[in-house]
Structure 1
């Protein structure tokens, strides 16, 4: 619709200071004649658009002109305001100053206690806490990160990466970056990164356009697990499993079908359910957990005998 194109055109010109009619025509997939008609329409509506011909000329807005808040719907105003609140909750620099200005413009009250973002785990000391401001600076200003990392096998390693993207996926934060150790793009779970440090060393690398988070995370072979989980553990089910993976049984217990790798991470996670979980499949995992359970039991039985 023309009205939508006209509004988009204004924001396009504002963001680029000065554009040509051909650039606008290419962007909106219309003719230059249509663009000039749109410019005339905007001018008649009171938008101070200046058109200069010749070398160095183009279409721009009069210096000092500001867009009125009426260009944004109420929902759009709320989304912008809440976005700034998210930045403020994560200790983003100067977010509160921007909030005050936007709040005055949009007539929105300053409500700053509805959200808090903290990347550290429960019980972390202050020196382990990571702010989104630190990560934003490292990624956008291209500073190398160093940290200790614990992988899914609980193995510790020293890492140095060029951080390229911060991602939230499936209840967890991840950093995508070029790992100097592996000489390749890797994905690191933020909760497993300890003693993270933003160095003073800058890099020039960018994330490849064909990067896919899904492809990069499926380097481990997964097998199908069938778990019988007692009703007492119902509070954990929908925190850790998708509803399509859970089936309620007639006795109140739950049958969970999920894909897991056969590794230390899986065994530790299943053992965290204690006696409230029974692995029905695969047989290899059932045998391994039986061995570990016997070893744990023997440790305490031996203590009593001694």
Structure 2
């Protein structure tokens, strides 16, 4: 979305990868309305929930650029369900790291009938669809690509 408006955004895959603005790029405040800057901050806060640490710095810079929306604490995005265990919040980041570092993950899978099984999988992609996160991975038990729901 940003790149379509002329903002030079690029992404790096792999260990240490992330989402970046082209170095030395300056945003002209007069080109972006207050509503657009609030939408931009909301988008960055949503990305921040995926635990890209560099987004904290981006939010600080955005707050400095758009002084009228410098308070960006009006929204928090947390993908873990209410009443979840403390490690639930790190589940997304753990899967993301395994995906980026091409590591096999082990997890307990519960199917639609409630049967539990332990799985080994090679994560390929995270998808957020219809209010839930899914993992596309090569399941070693089934010897095929599968989609696993990872959020309640």
Q: Under a length normalisation based on structure 1, what TM-score does the superposition of the two structures give?
A: 0.37
Which structure ranks higher in relative contact order (CA pairs < 8 Å, sequence separation ≥ 6)?
2
RMSD: 3.1
Distance 1:189 1:68 in 2: 38
Alignment of 1:35-114 (within 5 A): 66-70=25-29, 72-74=31-33, 76-89=36-49, 91-107=51-67, 108-114=69-75
Alignment of 1:95-174 (within 5 A): 95-107=55-67, 108-119=69-80, 121-174=81-134
Matched-pair contact (CA < 8 Å) for 1:118–1:130: no
Aligned partner of 1:56 in structure 2 is none
Q: In the TM superposition, what whole-angstrom CA distance separates every residue of 1:34-66 from its partner, at most 9, and x where no partner exists?
A: xxxxxxxxxxxxxxxxxxxxxxxxxxxxxx853
Aligned partner of 1:183 in structure 2 is 143
Q: In the TM superposition, what whole-angstrom CA distance separates every residue of 1:126-176 from its partner, at most 9, and x where no partner exists?
A: 234435333332333333221011101211111111212222223322111
Aligned partner of 2:19 in structure 1 is none
Matched-pair contact (CA < 8 Å) for 1:176–1:186: yes
Alignment of 1:246-285 (within 5 A): none
Runs of 5+ unmatched residues, structure 2 = 11-22
Deviation at 1:104, TM superposition (A): 0.9
Q: Under a length normalisation based on structure 2, what TM-score does the superposition of the two structures give?
A: 0.68
Larger Rg: 1
Matched-pair contact (CA < 8 Å) for 2:41–2:72: no
**Bigger proportion of residues as helix:** 1
Q: Give the match's secondary structure for 2:90.
A: coil
